[in-house]
Structure 1
Amino acid sequence: MPYEPPTHTVERSLRATTGAKVIAGVDEVGRGAWAGPVTVCAAVTGLRRPPVGLTDSKLLTVKRRNELSQELLKWVTSHALGHASPEEIDDLGMTAALRLAAGRALEALPVRPDAVILDGKHDYLGAPWRVRTVIKGDQSCVAVAAASVIAKVQRDKMMAELGIDHADFGFADNAGYPSPVHKAALEERGPTPFHRLSWAYLDALPQWRHLKKARTWASGSVPGVEGQLGFDF
């Protein structure tokens, strides 16, 4: 299906209106998984022409996504990954875990960004980062699309490695997301050390329901972030 390639429109706008020179695109993967970390990539691309075919990772075949990731790792000015573990997700909630992972990725960049383009509608980063949120930024913004592809491929590799000792769960194919194979393995064996134990999937598994962790954080809250609104310009 044809799609419009991403552009540098947002990056150019930020440069013109704020004077930002280093702009990072940020995207996440793993938000809806039952197992594994949530992973965030921060990518700095400048205004160079991107590799052909760059778009949201979800629109690419596995083969093309892997090929494009290799191209991007050589092409981007810099990139870094940040992760929040299943335990951190259980303890903090997803919004705060995303903020933690994204902060780790941004702090790991060799040069601190002047501005961040964040995929989606909601700014889960907050201060001190200057953030512009862009709905479907992984399709429309070059830096965010690059972050999308790198994050997806790197997390998939991580999940395949985690699955070596848990082959019945199919992590190499489902990356920790819901699937018939994953559910069947959970029913028989229960959660692995890599599973999120506050997730609702355990409600449907009576024999393992006692392992579920009670949520200590309010839905939609971001522990430690209240009152720290970022820039949304």
Structure 2
Amino acid sequence: MPYEPPTHTVERSLRATTGARIVAGVDEVGRGAWAGPVTVCAAVTGLRRPPEGLTDSKLLAPKRRTELAGLLEDWVTAHALGHASPQEIDDLGMTAALRLAAGRALESLPVRPDAVILDGKHDYLGRPWRVRTVIKGDQSCVAVAAASVIAKVRRDAMMGELGRDCADFAFAANAGYPSPVHRAALAEFGPTPHHRVSWAYMDALPRWKHLKKSRVGLPGEPEEDGEQLGFDF
């Protein structure tokens, strides 16, 4: 399916209107998974022309996505990853876990961004960062698209490593998202230490429902889980 390549339009706008010289694109992966961390990548690209074929990671075939991630890690000016563990997601709720992971990514950059382009319509990051939210920023903004691809490939690799010790759950294939194999393994073996045990899918596991953890979260924060958010593996 044809798509428009991402541009530096938002980066240029931030430079013109706010004086920002260093702009980071931020995107996450793993929000709707049942297992594994939520991972955020922050990428600084400048205004150079990106590698050909760059777009939202979900629009790329797995092989091409992996190839492109390798190119991007050398091409970007700087990038860093931040993670929030399943336990942190259970304890804090997804919004706060995303803020934690994104903050870790941004603080790990070798340069401090003057502004951040955040994929989506909700600013889960907040102060002290100057944030511009962009719906479908992973398709329209170069820096966010680069962050999207790097985050996806790196988290998938992490889940593949976890899958070596949890072969029945097929994490290498489903990256911790719900799939028939994953659901069957949960029903038979119950959740692993890599699972988010405060989520609603636990209610459908009669043998293991007693292991469900009460989720604390933040006042007024909506509950999010893979049943509501869908799949992206």
Corresponding residue for 2:34?
34
Output the CA distance in 1 between the equivalents of 2:168 and 2:217. 32
Residue pairs, 1:138-149, within 5 angstroms: 138-149=138-149
Output the CA distance in 1 between the equivalents of 2:151 and 2:11. 20
Corresponding residue for 1:110?
110
What letter matches 1:30 in structure 2?
A: G
Following superposition, the deviation at residue 165 of structure 1 comes to: 0.8
1:151 matched to 2:151: yes
Q: Is the 8 A contact 2:34 2:177 kept in 1?
A: yes
SS at match of 2:34: coil
Q: Is the 8 A contact 2:96 2:217 kept in 1?
A: no
Output the CA distance in 2 between the equivalents of 1:162 and 1:201. 20
Output the CA distance in 2 between the equivalents of 1:200 and 1:80. 31
Following superposition, the deviation at residue 218 of structure 1 comes to: 4.5
SS at match of 1:165: coil
| Residues 1:218 and 1:110: Cα distance change in structure 2 (over 3 Å) | closer
Output the CA distance in 1 between the equivalents of 2:72 and 2:27. 15
**TM-score, structure 2 length as denominator?**
0.94
SS at match of 1:112: coil
* Percent identity (aligned): 83
Output the CA distance in 1 between the equivalents of 2:47 and 2:197. 42
1:129 matched to 2:157: no
What letter matches 1:153 in structure 2?
A: V
Output the CA distance in 1 between the equivalents of 2:79 and 2:220. 29
Output the CA distance in 1 between the equivalents of 2:174 and 2:149. 17
Count of equivalent residues:
222
Q: Deviations over 1:24-79 (max 9, x none)?
A: 00000000000000000000000000000000000000000000000001100000
SS at match of 1:159: helix
Output the CA distance in 1 between the equivalents of 2:92 and 2:121. 21
Corresponding residue for 2:15?
15
| Residues 1:79 and 1:49: Cα distance change in structure 2 (over 3 Å) | same
> 5+ residue gaps in structure 1?
223-233
What letter matches 1:160 in structure 2?
A: G
1:25 matched to 2:64: no
Following superposition, the deviation at residue 216 of structure 1 comes to: 1.9
1:192 matched to 2:196: no
SS at match of 2:81: strand
Following superposition, the deviation at residue 219 of structure 1 comes to: 6.3
Corresponding residue for 2:46?
46
Residue pairs, 1:65-214, within 5 angstroms: 65-214=65-214
SS at match of 2:164: helix
Following superposition, the deviation at residue 220 of structure 1 comes to: 4.5
| Residues 1:219 and 1:177: Cα distance change in structure 2 (over 3 Å) | farther
Q: Is the 8 A contact 1:95 1:220 kept in 2?
A: no
> 5+ residue gaps in structure 2?
223-233
What letter matches 2:37 in structure 1?
A: P
Q: Is the 8 A contact 2:41 2:105 kept in 1?
A: yes
What letter matches 2:6 in structure 1?
A: P
Q: Deviations over 1:81-117 (max 9, x none)?
A: 0000000000000000000000000000001100000
